[in-house]
Amino acid sequence: MQTTLTDRRSFLKKMAMASAIAAAASMFPGIMFAAEQEKGIPKNANLDWKKGPCRFCGVGCGVLVGTENGKAVAVKGDPNSPVNKGLCCVKGYHSIMALYGKDRLTHPLVKKNGRYVKTSMDEALDLIASKMKETIAEHGKDAVSIYGSGQWTIPDGYAASKLFKGCIGTNNVEANARLCMASAVTGFLTSFGLDEPMGCYEDIDHADVFVLWGNNMAEMHPVLFSRLLDQRLKRGVKIIDFATRTTRTSTAADKSILFLPQTDLAVANAICYEIIKNGWVNNSFVEKHCSFSKGLTNMGYGLEDNYTFTDKPEKISFEDYKTFLEDYTPEKVSKLSGVSVRDIKYMASYYGDPNKKVMSLWCMGMNQHTRGTWINNLVYNIHLLTGKISQPGNSPFSLTGQPSACGTVREVGTLTHKLPHGVVMNKEHREFAAKIWGVPAENIPSKPTYHTVEMFRALDRGDIRFMWIQVTNPMVTMPKLKRYRDGAKKEGRFIVVSDVYPTPTTDIADVILPSAMWIEREGMYGNSERRTQYFEQMVDPPGEAISDTWQLIEVAKRLGYEKQFPYKEETHIEEIYTEYRKHHDNIKHNMAPLEVLKSQSGAIWPYVDGKSTKWRFNAKYDPACSNGEDFHFYGKPDGKAIIWQRPYEPAAEEPDNEYPYWLNTGRVVEHWHTGSMTRRIPVLHQAMPHAYVELHPDDAERMQIKTGDAVRLTTRRGEITLPASINERGVPAPMQVFVPFFDENILINDITLDSFCPISKEPDYKKCAVRVEKA
């Protein structure tokens, strides 16, 4: 049966039978239809509907929220949103319930003699400001830090960066997106010189083949995945799931190809080898628009404190690159990766076919990787060699996870080395930011300090003494968690946590600030396709809760920065956004004015002459192209994208006799990360009540383990015990296990490894060695 997302209603009418929704739901895993949802919308309700982006993932679906008597009571997909065209997934439809958990934090709590005591917001903010002053006086500026989030709104991140980098004068600003998107960023910067995808979601409507490089899209980007499935119904496109584990995405795909962890590096090189060997290179594109480079190898894994790495890129020739690829014949790579020669050639043939448009999609499989920057480069290589880039349907597309990982962390620049425009290492960039911030340029230090893992190491060592944590739950999500939890709890550390519920992170706080959440305040998020979306305040926050932005502003004023933070309570979001736009006031990055964001479902940047730029670097669509050619990779001084020579190197810790399995971790569709919100939504919690370990059925049989049996996992960091899951949600490959991290009672990160990509500093949560035993 044919269906489109836009005429979903008539499709549903046509189906008009009880089983229809069940059938559709199995075609669109994780997706719910409005009809199903509407059963829950109160009849005769006189609802006030307002639009905004969904609270949860980086897809950035447009939702309509219905409020009544000051409460959010209904959600539906916004049919006018080009992102989701009226659809939502289970999390989107239940998002408003996340506001109303029974144990919402409503008042500031201050730890006194080991107990939390209620205080007024004013007192709590006074205490935070005085502690910051005290710490700076005693230990210096670099002893205070802020750790934020890709779930920060744009104004939250902007206020944090301005306060810490511009006013206080420390680069101790990081965000959880380091754990998530950092390799995507360094991948973009090394290959193209500019961050974020060149294409947009419309690529899905044009591509013939989709290759997912270790992205469980059916569960993690469900509505976007439904757009792929919809295209398959309409146009017969092919979906290839290239992954280490069989998931719902694999079963929905046309072809599932499994590879051994880390060997994607080798397979990507083998695909390039095949493309060259078969004469599928787009020679004129490569000659005009690409150059070749190599960097240092054997970079290490960042396992020691203060580990640094600086790459030394070197130009090479196409011939050098071809010689390098001789090591990556499909035959050789097949042995290493477990992928058959036939399947390697199969993937290469789609990339090589000039008549097929190919979209590659990825997320944490490629980013949480000790060679995360490299594997991002390698997938770009495939698209560059074949010239399949920056055109509708030909698109290497790095997906983001959080609702504003792009908007806030990457665009506002809430990472230690970043500024909204440019980097702290560059004098002109510092001067430019300082001017807009109204601070002396000398205030902004020219050296980055700590990336996330190193920031928590510094807290453990005592180099950092004060940390403010907003919209993130690191005491569940840091790798090798025990070290960082013990470190944060040491004497002489002062931790402020802004959250909406009690979590393992609020457990270690000296001050807990209750935050106004999502539609309880006004803000903007930026999604995976460079789309900035605005939402207004729709309901009041509970108790004394105020937004993270306003918390920062109040503390900034108490620290004496009234001049830099002159914003008025009623208009501060608009004032901040208007100020923020000045940082990006150029044809390569213009952000749309607020009126535009308010009047439509957001806008894609660069927003130039009243128009979104949908495909960057392509002169047909992108007014910033200026070399007179069809394509212009203007992020690089010579206008050329770089094809990188990057070898396969093993993971930081591989299975051995003592720890014979691979441990992989990740997510499930029902829960958002640490479950702090989704576990308070009864339907989602009941659907997925606790964490488990997935085993391959052969391994389970050998160890006589059945679903529900207790299993002990032991790594070099410690052990945990949890129930087994066999042939349920996902199926790992033999000698591999998988554990989701949403359950704060089963802290899988207590046993993960804190190795990271030395270029991006993003940890590899997908690979370490583990022993598996029946408990």
Residue numbers in the known binding site are 54, 57, 61, 89, 91, 151, 176, 180, 262-264, 364, 368, 473, 498-499, 548, 665-674, 741, 749, 766
| Contact call for residues 412 and 433 (beta carbons, < 8 A) | no
Of the candidates 408, 674, 725, 760, which one interacts with ligand MGD according to CB under 6 A?
674
For the record, the structure tokens of 384 come out as: 């560059």
Smallest separation, CB 76 to ligand SF4 (Å): 11
Alpha carbon distances (Å) from 106 to 517, 544, 548, 681: 11, 6, 14, 18
Smallest separation, CB 663 to ligand MGD (Å): 9
| Residue 181 falls in the annotated catalytic set | yes
Q: Which long-range contacts (CB under 8 A, 24 or more apart) does 137-144 make?
A: 138/465, 139/465, 141/168, 141/169, 141/170, 142/170, 142/171, 142/172, 142/449, 142/463, 142/464, 143/463, 143/464, 143/465, 143/466, 144/168, 144/170, 144/172, 144/464, 144/465, 144/466, 144/467
Site for ligand MGD in 241-260 (CB under 6 A): 243-245, 247
92 makes contact with ligand SF4 (CB under 6 A):
yes
| Contact call for residues 5 and 87 (beta carbons, < 8 A) | yes
Q: CB-wise, 88 or 495, nearer to ligand SF4? A: 88
| Contact call for residues 66 and 43 (beta carbons, < 8 A) | no
Sole residue written with tokens 């810490």: 164
For the record, the structure tokens of 623 come out as: 């007014």
Rg of the Cα trace of the chain? 25
Of the candidates 105, 180, 439, 509, which one interacts with Mo ion according to CB under 5 A?
180
| Residue 688 falls in the annotated catalytic set | no
Which of Mo ion, ligand MGD, ligand SF4, none does 667 bind, CB closer than 5 to 8 A by kind? ligand MGD
Q: CB-wise, 524 or 625, nearer to ligand MGD? A: 524
Smallest separation, CB 279 to ligand MGD (Å): 28
Q: Could you write out the DSSP letters of every residue in 502-536?
A: --TTGGG-SEEEEB--GGGS-EEEE-TTSEEEEE-
| Residue 402 falls in the annotated catalytic set | yes
| Residue 366 falls in the annotated catalytic set | no
Site for ligand SF4 in 25-64 (CB under 6 A): 54, 56-57, 59-61
Distance of CA 202 to the CA centre of its chain: 20
Of the candidates 549, 680, 728, the one whose C-alpha atom is nearest the C-alpha of residue 104 is 680
Tell me the C-alpha distance between 294 and 647, whole Å.
10
| Contact call for residues 510 and 101 (beta carbons, < 8 A) | no
Tell me the C-alpha distance between 81 and 601, whole Å.
6
Site for ligand MGD in 70-109 (CB under 6 A): 91
Of the candidates 32, 34, 74, 88, which one interacts with ligand SF4 according to CB under 6 A?
88
Of the candidates 365, 392, 413, 635, which one interacts with ligand MGD according to CB under 6 A?
365
Q: CB-wise, 56 or 456, nearer to ligand SF4? A: 56
| Residue 425 falls in the annotated catalytic set | no
Q: CB-wise, 266 or 384, nearer to ligand MGD? A: 266
Site for ligand SF4 in 163-222 (CB under 6 A): 221-222
Q: CB-wise, 61 or 182, nearer to ligand SF4? A: 61
Q: CB-wise, 401 or 526, nearer to Mo ion? A: 401
452-461 and 481-488 helices, crossing angle to 10°: 50
| Residue 774 falls in the annotated catalytic set | no
Of the candidates 516, 397, 443, the one whose C-alpha atom is nearest the C-alpha of residue 164 is 443
Smallest separation, CB 518 to ligand MGD (Å): 6
Q: CB-wise, 84 or 119, nearer to ligand SF4? A: 84
Residues near ligand SF4 (CB under 6 A)? 54, 56-57, 59-61, 84, 88-89, 91-92, 221-223
Residues near ligand MGD (CB under 6 A)? 57, 91, 149, 151, 176, 179-180, 213-216, 219-220, 243-245, 247, 261-262, 264, 363-366, 368-369, 401-402, 470-474, 477, 498-501, 503, 515, 517-518, 548, 664-667, 669, 671-674, 676-677, 741, 748-749, 752, 765-766
Which residues are the active-site residues? 91, 180-181, 364, 401-402
